[in-house]
Amino acid sequence: MKIKRGFTLLEMLVVIGIIAILVTIGFASYSTIQKKARDAKRQGDLKAAQQVMEQCYSANTNSYQYETISVSASNVLSMTCPGSATLTFSIKDPLNTATYKYSVDPNTSSLYTITAVLETSADPYSVSNQQ
pLDDT band at 112 (very low <50, low <70, confident <90, very high): confident
Query: How many CB atoms neighbour CB 101 within 10 A?
Result: 14
pLDDT at 8 over 70: yes
How far is 33 from 46, CA to CA, in rounded Å? 20
Reported as half-sphere exposure (CB side, CA atoms, 13 A), residue 110 has a value of 6
pLDDT at 108 over 80: no
Instruction: Determine the residue type at 63.
Output: S
Chain-wide mean pLDDT for the chain? 84
pTM for this predicted structure: 0.74
How far is 55 from 52, CA to CA, in rounded Å? 5
pLDDT band at 85 (very low <50, low <70, confident <90, very high): low
Cα Dmax for the chain: 97
